């Protein structure tokens, strides 16, 4: 699964980008300042970085200098629209430069283009007898389509992106439903139960006592 780091200090913009990329089948982490982004790059592997320039603490240009030796493609997202700024970003090694405000469809197209350039585009995931086409959002077992609701599909992708990790119910709720978890686990539990049954994954999505769930796959 393609993993993207979004480095953007304006949370509403970051959330909008993350939501749309997630629905397109990408897994996203978010950093809201340059120093946090650098720390996350030390701890995780990413296939693409969406990088704002005007960031607190460490700006996007400085983050780009850190990224260059890592050979991770970068798309600058910024309000700095002058030719000089574009040239500077591209000379630093950015693969593309998108000026705010931008349309999400254009961002998605540019993300796909950069990933194709690096041979990172991935749309088919296979786990056992389950095949997931993340572009078409179609899930099949042995060529028979499994009909999932929007939330069930998002839950499936979230489990896959975090395979073999124990996920707290509050984390699942906040990621999939986008609200604050109030301690009522019925919504999460019911969706997990339906997903297990539809996929035949009763033995793969396991309950973790007092925590939540874990997808156990090799």
pLDDT interval class at 122 (50, 70, 90) = low
Looking at 117, 136, 159, which one is the last position of a domain?
A: 117
Q: Cβ distance 16 to 60 under 8 Å?
A: no
CB atoms within 10 A of CB 141: 14
Whether 54 and 94 share a structural domain? yes
Give tens-digit pLDDT for 65-92: 899 888 899 999 888 767 777 777 778 8
Q: How far apart are CA 182 and CA 194, in angstroms?
A: 22
Q: Which two tokens stand for residue 185?
A: 């686990």
The pTM assigned to this predicted structure is 0.60
Show the domain range for 168. 148-215
| Domains held by the chain: number | 2
Looking at 78, 100, 117, which one is the last position of a domain?
A: 117
Q: Fill in the DSSP letter of residue 34.
A: H
What's the gap between Cα 18 and its chain centre?
Answer: 6
- Max distance between CA atoms of the chain, in angstroms, equals 56
Give tens-digit pLDDT for 160-201: 878 888 999 988 888 888 776 666 668 899 999 999 999 999
Place of tokens 């979230």: 158
Q: Domain containing 77 — which CATH number?
A: 3.40.50.2300
Q: How far apart are CA 89 and CA 8, in angstroms?
A: 16
Q: Has residue 138 been placed in a domain?
A: no
Q: Has residue 44 been placed in a domain?
A: yes
């Amino acid at each position: 699964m393609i993993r993207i780091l979004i480095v953007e200090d304006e949370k509403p913009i970051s959330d909008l980008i993350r939501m749309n990329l997630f629905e397109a089948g990408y897994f996203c982490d978010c950093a809201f300042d340059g120093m946090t982004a650098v720390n996350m790059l030390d701890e995780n592997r990413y296939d693409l970085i969406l990088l704002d320039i005007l960031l607190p603490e460490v700006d996007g240009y400085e983050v780009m200098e850190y990224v260059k030796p890592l050979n991770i493609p970068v798309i600058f997202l910024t309000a700095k629209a002058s030719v000089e700024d574009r040239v500077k970003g591209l000379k630093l090694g950015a693969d593309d430069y998108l000026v705010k405000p931008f349309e999400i469809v254009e961002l998605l197209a540019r993300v796909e283009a950069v990933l194709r350039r690096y041979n990172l585009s991935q749309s088919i995931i296979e786990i056992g007898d389950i095949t997931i086409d993340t572009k078409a959002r179609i899930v099949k077992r042995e060529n028979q389509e499994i009909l999932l609701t929007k939330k069930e599909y998002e839950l499936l992708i979230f489990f896959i992106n975090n395979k073999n990790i124990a996920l707290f119910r509050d984390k699942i709720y906040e990621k999939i439903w986008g609200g604050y978890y109030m301690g009522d686990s019925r919504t999460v539990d019911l969706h997990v139960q339906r997903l297990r049954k539809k996929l035949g994954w009763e033995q793969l999505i396991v309950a973790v006592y007092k925590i939540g769930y874990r997808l156990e796959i090799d």
